[in-house]
Amino acid sequence: MTPRLLAALIAALALTAVLGCARQQPAPGTAPAVSPPPKTGTTGPAEPAGKESPPASVATADEGQTLYDTKCTRCHTLDRVRKHDPAKESWPGLVASMQAKKAGWISDAEAATIVQHLDKAYPAK
């Protein structure tokens, strides 16, 4: 194998490795391509008689978990959340600081739902 062919092969392999392992990031100023969680009460069969859905201002545990899974775990592992001490820094303050890092990524309503979930799942010790 000639040195020139060998160099071209190594360059092609390196480029393939870099492109294959690169983590795709959304373009600056755009939100990542993640579908928002479905809104409750807008689709699907009607609730059975006698069973009321929670008020719009109260999020369900599933909504909080879903938002955490789609928004927070893009950057953070569950271990990091488990190690966090809400007594030292409150969940509302922490979520607000994450919300401010990328405009539009976490809405105020989503932030409130995530905080509600974190308060229940990981209360101050």
Within a domain: 31: no
Nearest to 82 by CA among 122, 119, 53, 112: 122
Identify whether 3 is part of a domain: no
Position 29 in a domain: no
Q: Does residue 83 lie in a domain region?
A: yes
The tens place of each residue's pLDDT in the chain, 125 residues long, gives: 688 877 777 777 666 655 554 444 444 554 555 555 555 444 444 444 544 444 444 567 689 999 999 999 988 888 888 888 888 889 999 999 999 998 899 999 999 999 999 999 888 87
In a domain, 15, yes or no: no
Is 80 within the bounds of a domain?
Answer: yes
Rounded (5°) CA angle 53-45-109: 45
Domain of 73 in residue numbering reads as: 59-125
Instruction: Residue 67: give its domain's CATH number.
Output: 1.10.760.10
* Tokens read off for 75: 């950057």
State how many domains the chain has.
Answer: 1
Number of neighbouring beta carbons within 10 Å of residue 60: 14
State the pTM of this model: 0.52
